Amino acid sequence: MVQLVPSLLRQELARLAEEDQRLDGRGRWEARDVTLETDCLYNAEGSAKVVMGGTIVYAGVKFELRTPWPDRPTQGSLMCGAELRPVAGRKYEPGPPSPQSIELSRVVDRGIRESNCIDMESLCIVPGEKVWGVMIDIHVMSDQGNIFDACGLAAIAALRTAVVPAERFDVGEDHKLQVSSTPIMASFTRAGGRFVYDPSEEEELGGDERIHITLGDEGHLHSLQKGLRGVFTPAEFAEIFDVAQKHCAELRKLVAKKEGN
């Protein structure tokens, strides 16, 4: 569905930006309340529910046995998919995956994959014959802004609490999936001419380009994405990069708390 952007909303966002305020009263770099629940889906081997303001996202991890790619006989595989189904909001329509949901899936996937938090060799059972395929499916249930960060957080929390169901597949004992780090995404949208952290639905609707940054444990960059129409300056990036570091570190602590370590 093509959404109309009310010019009144854009004007209001610009006015608020001048006064350094936001529609919902938050500071420019302030996050909404985040709650994280893990082990919440009965049939998933790892699962998480993330609530960020009015945005609700579930992630579930499943495993399958497969034959490895011929050129990588000792490596398992990882797949991350996000579904933007019509349940998520009025603007979403049924049909094959939209470019938007493919972008979301791929950005989340890259952040996790490129951080190398999962050692693909550790997913090997019999070289050349049998490896684990790890699949993370993310289900967006309610979109009220910033689904990227919610999806990224749900995915890594589900992975970090996942148990490999080896007994069910008759290939050894069940064990925790080895995940060596916690990549976290931070997203910014230009609303009223300046960037804000953790954009709300209105800020996304009346805003311009968005930037997604995924950071690893050491603060290293693992994925970047600029989406939608607009340009930004290196100085603007430097500013949001600092903010991203701070928020990613906090969310990483939240995930660690759920794991009980």
Partner 1 sequence: MGGYGDVKLLQEDGLRLDGRKLDEMRPVKIEAGVLPAADGSAMVTHGLNVAVAAVYGPMEAHPRKIQRQDRAVIDVRYNMAPFSTSDRIRPGFNRRSREISKVTAEALESVVLVERYPRSKIRVEIEILAAEAGTRCAGITAAAVALADAGIPMRDLIVGVASGKIEDTVVLDLDKAEDNYGQADLPVGILPNTGEIAFLQMDGDLSPDEYNLAMEYNFKAAKEIHEIMVEALQKRYEGGEA
Establish if 87 lies at the interface with partner 1 (CB under 8 A).
yes
* Placement of tokens 């802004």 in the chain: 145
43 binds partner 1 (CB under 8 A): yes
Which range in 13-21, 24-32, 89-97, 211-219 contacts partner 1 by CB under 8 A?
A: 89-97
Please give the structure tokens belonging to residue 85.
């189904």
Nearer Cβ to partner 1, position 17 or 84?
84
Q: Which residues of 221-252 are buried (b: 16+ CB within 10 A; e: fewer)?
A: ebbebebeeeebeeeebebbbebbeebbeebb
| Residue 44 is a binding residue for partner 1 (CB under 8 A) | yes
Q: Does 202 bind partner 1 (CB under 8 A)?
A: no
139 binds partner 1 (CB under 8 A): yes
Q: Does 159 bind partner 1 (CB under 8 A)?
A: no
66 lies in the binding site for partner 1 (CB under 8 A): no
| 174 part of the interface to partner 1, by CB under 8 A | no
Among 32, 34, 38, 58, which residue sits at the site for partner 1 (rule: CB under 8 A)? 58
Q: Is the dihedral of CA 222, 227, 233, 236 positive or negative?
A: negative
Shortest reach from residue 208's CB to partner 1, in Å: 22
Sole binder of partner 1 in the list 9, 16, 34, 56 (CB under 8 A): 56
Q: State yes or no: residue 142 binds partner 1 (CB under 8 A).
A: yes
Helix ranges (DSSP H) in 145-231: 147-160, 201-205
Q: What residue type is 210 in one-letter code?
A: R
User: How crowded is residue 130: how many other Cβ atoms within 10 Å of its Cβ?
Assistant: 15
The owner of tokens 């007994």 is 167
Question: Which of 35, 66, 67, 168: binder of partner 1 (CB under 8 A)?
Answer: 168
H-run or E-run covering 70 = none
- Sequence-distant (6+) residues with CB within 8 A of 123 are 75, 76, 77, 131, 132, 133, 134
Helices and strands, number each (H, E), in the chain? 5, 12
- The answer to the question of residue 219 lying near partner 1 (CB under 8 A) is no
Among 86, 172, 193, 230, binds partner 1 (CB under 8 A): 86
Interface stretch with partner 1, choices 56-64, 149-157, 191-199, 209-217 (CB under 8 A): 56-64
Q: Which residues 92-121 are close enough to bind partner 1 by CB under 8 A?
A: 94, 96
Q: How far apart are CA 131 and CA 81, in angstroms?
A: 20
Q: Which residues of this protein are in contact with partner 1, per CB under 8 A?
A: 41-44, 47, 53-56, 58, 60-62, 64, 81, 83, 85-90, 94, 96, 135, 137, 139, 141-144, 168, 201
